[in-house]
């Protein structure tokens, strides 16, 4: 199907305002917004007169297959959580586990209006396979940590092969970055190898950074510098980088992030649940840092609902700054759409409802009681709506989720496979 018309609805324009009009989609891109050109005929029409269409959300940092461990390891400190629960369970993973865990994550994201995600995990060829089969958009990286020689070499080879095989695959829906886990698990010599590979391949880098006070304290003790300063000196930011968390960053760190055009991904639910802290998002935005939103993995959240991240991001900043005007609705919605597109390196083609942009869209049904009275649809989306309001999710103009049904995956089979595999892994 080449031509799709979203007829007689309201949509979120690039400035964050709700406006009325039609949206025409042709060959996977938005052809027009507003008034349908005379003579243009669609192959399919979706009636949107009770709907609000938005750019699809971009989940700019997650570990998709961790859906297999949802609610398995709750109410623990980050390092205890990793060392006692998560890493031992992940050691049992096989490729098919990651495939089915990713399928489950994609289903959850599509049903809640997310059209793209940035993933860092293992068996990433299986993640790519799941994305190709379902039509999802993704930026993928193989998690890299310091290990004994042969094991570390294998991980680096896997990330390089992932880049060779899948960067630009599925008509550009899949892109690949390098994935050093964090400065404390991939110290300087490991990071130097990542930087060398990035330069050789022309790849960008996705890394966890300054997530906890402990991480910063350890960095100061070992190197006399913050984790941000360490990675800057190692050249990690030179080719383009996306840094998840950035909770414990100083004004000097923020200057570096801004100067090096590092795209920061804020994960409010995960940071709150693990008591990591409140990232200074308002200060980073004021300094000109690009900020996106992510859910992190389903073991530290415990869902992949980006609308929940939107609300929490705004409320957390207001509370942290004791200022109700901080991170208002239009700005926080932009983080989940335009900011996410920029984080993935696709700001010129993704994240806006405008002619020429990719038709990655979410359609919200606005008939539920919490959508009334309709004073301000953008505000209602950020503060009142919920994921269950999503009626359609489109990627490249293709409807992947329609009124509770998935068009590219068998949800009952996905739930059965992921459920059985998740229980096996934690026995």
In the predicted structure, residue 148 carries a pLDDT above the cut 80? no
In the predicted structure, residue 263 carries a pLDDT above the cut 90? yes
In the predicted structure, residue 13 carries a pLDDT above the cut 70? yes
Q: Tell me what the mean pLDDT of segment 120-147 comes to.
A: 96
Residue closest to 20 by CA, chosen among 5, 34, 37: 34
The DSSP 8-state label assigned to residue 370 in this structure reads G
pLDDT of residue 144: 95
Residue closest to 93 by CA, chosen among 119, 123, 72, 71: 123
Residue 414 located in a structural domain:
no
Residue 265 located in a structural domain:
yes
253-262 confidence digits (pLDDT tens): 999 999 999 9
Residue closest to 339 by CA, chosen among 328, 351, 329, 349: 351
pLDDT above 90 covers a percentage of the chain that reads 95
Residue 421 located in a structural domain:
no
Query: How far is residue 107 from each of residues 3, 100, 245, 391, measured CA to CA in Å?
Result: 25, 11, 25, 14
Q: Tell me what the mean pLDDT of segment 135-140 comes to.
A: 98
Alpha-carbon span 55 to 295, nearest angstrom: 18
220-235 confidence digits (pLDDT tens): 999 999 999 999 999 9
Residue closest to 126 by CA, chosen among 155, 82, 86, 94: 94
235 CB-contact burial (10 Å; exposed 0-12 / middle 13-18 / buried 19+)? middle
Residue 377 located in a structural domain:
yes
206 CB-contact burial (10 Å; exposed 0-12 / middle 13-18 / buried 19+)? buried
The DSSP 8-state label assigned to residue 224 in this structure reads S
Q: pTM to 2 decimals?
A: 0.97
Residue closest to 294 by CA, chosen among 347, 242, 364: 242
Residue 278 located in a structural domain:
yes
Q: Tell me what the mean pLDDT of segment 284-295 comes to.
A: 98
Terminal CA-CA length for the chain? 46
**Domain range enclosing 47:** 3-55+350-406
Same domain, 281 and 359: no
pLDDT of residue 82: 84
Q: Tell me what the mean pLDDT of segment 240-266 comes to.
A: 98
42-51, 139-148, 319-328, range with the lowest pLDDT: 139-148
- Classify 37 as helix, strand or coil: coil
336-391 confidence digits (pLDDT tens): 999 999 999 999 999 999 999 999 999 999 999 999 999 999 999 999 999 999 99
Q: Tell me what the mean pLDDT of segment 169-191 comes to.
A: 97
pLDDT of residue 149: 73
Residue 147 located in a structural domain:
yes
303-337 confidence digits (pLDDT tens): 999 999 999 999 999 999 999 999 999 999 999 99
Which residues lie across from 24 on neighbouring strands? Answer: 5, 32
What stretch of H or E contains 174? strand 174-176
Q: Give yes or no for a contact between 9 and 19, defined as CB atoms under 8 angstroms apart.
A: no
**Structure-token pair, residue 51:** 């709907």
pLDDT of residue 150: 82
pLDDT of residue 1: 58
Task: Kindly report the three-state secondary structure assignment for every residue of 52-92.
Answer: EEEECEEEEEECHHHHHHCCCCCCCCHHHHHHHHHHHHHCC
Could you identify the residue written with the tokens 């590979």?
A: 197
How many domains would you assign to the chain?
Answer: 2
| Residue 211 backbone phi and psi in degrees, to 5 | -75, -35
Same domain, 214 and 104: yes
Task: Output the CA angle 205-207-208, nearest 5 degrees.
Answer: 170
Determine the distance from the C-alpha atom of residue 387 to the mean position of all C-alpha atoms in its chain, rounded to a whole number: 16
- Classify 26 as helix, strand or coil: strand
- Classify 12 as helix, strand or coil: strand
Q: What is the CATH number of the domain that holds 38?
A: 2.30.40.10
Residue 416 located in a structural domain:
no
List of residues 6+ apart from 352 with CB closer than 8 A: 14, 55, 337, 338, 341
Alpha-carbon span 319 to 268, nearest angstrom: 12
Q: Give yes or no for a contact between 163 and 197, defined as CB atoms under 8 angstroms apart.
A: no
154-164 confidence digits (pLDDT tens): 999 999 999 99
386-427 confidence digits (pLDDT tens): 999 999 999 999 999 999 999 999 999 999 999 999 999 998
Q: What is the CATH number of the domain that holds 212?
A: 3.20.20.140
In the predicted structure, residue 117 carries a pLDDT above the cut 80? yes
pLDDT of residue 87: 87
pLDDT of residue 427: 85
Alpha-carbon span 297 to 101, nearest angstrom: 11
Same domain, 45 and 67: no
């Amino acid at each position: 199907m080449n031509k799709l018309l979203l007829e007689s609805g309201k949509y979120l324009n690039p400035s964050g305002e709700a406006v009325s009009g039609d949206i025409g989609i042709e060959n996977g891109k938005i052809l027009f917004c507003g008034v349908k050109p005379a003579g243009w005929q669609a192959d399919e029409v979706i009636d949107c007169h009770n709907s609000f269409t938005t750019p699809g959300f971009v989940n700019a940092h997650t570990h998709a297959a961790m859906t297999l461990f949802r609610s398995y390891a709750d109410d623990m400190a980050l390092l205890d959580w990793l060392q006692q629960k998560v890493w031992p369970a992940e050691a049992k993973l096989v490729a098919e586990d990651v495939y089915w865990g990713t399928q489950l994550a994609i289903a959850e994201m599509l049903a809640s209006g997310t059209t793209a995600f940035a993933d860092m995990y293992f068996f990433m060829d299986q993640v790519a396979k799941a994305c190709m089969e379902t039509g999802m958009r993704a930026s993928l990286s193989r998690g890299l940590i310091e290990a004994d020689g042969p094991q570390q070499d294998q991980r680096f080879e896997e990330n390089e092969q992932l880049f060779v095989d899948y960067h630009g695959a599925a008509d550009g829906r899949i892109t690949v970055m390098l994935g050093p886990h964090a400065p404390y698990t991939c110290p300087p010599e490991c990071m130097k190898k990542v930087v060398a590979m990035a330069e050789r391949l022309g790849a960008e880098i996705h890394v966890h950074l300054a997530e906890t006070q402990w991480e910063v304290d350890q960095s100061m003790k070992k190197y006399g510098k913050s984790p941000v300063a360490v990675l800057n000196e190692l050249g990690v930011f030179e080719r383009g980088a996306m840094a998840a968390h950035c909770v414990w960053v100083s004004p000097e760190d923020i200057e570096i992030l801004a100067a090096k055009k590092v795209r920061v991904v804020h994960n409010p639910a995960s940071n709150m649940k693990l008591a990591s802290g409140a990232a200074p998002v308002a200060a980073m935005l004021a300094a000109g840092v690009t900020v996106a939103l992510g859910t992190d993995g389903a073991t530290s959240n415990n869902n992949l609902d980006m609308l929940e991240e939107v609300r929490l991001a705004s409320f957390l900043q207001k509370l942290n700054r004791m200022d109700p005007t901080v991170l208002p609705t239009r700005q926080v919605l932009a983080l989940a759409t335009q900011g996410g597109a920029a984080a993935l390196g696709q700001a010129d083609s993704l994240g806006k409802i405008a002619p020429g942009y990719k038709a990655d869209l979410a359609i919200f049904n606005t008939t539920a009681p919490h959508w009334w009275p309709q004073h301000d649809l953008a505000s209602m989306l950020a503060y009142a709506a919920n994921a269950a309001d999503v009626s359609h999710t489109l990627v490249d103009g293709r409807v992947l989720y329609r009124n509770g049904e998935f068009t590219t995956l068998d949800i009952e089979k996905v739930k059965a496979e992921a459920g059985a595999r998740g229980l096996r892994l934690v026995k």
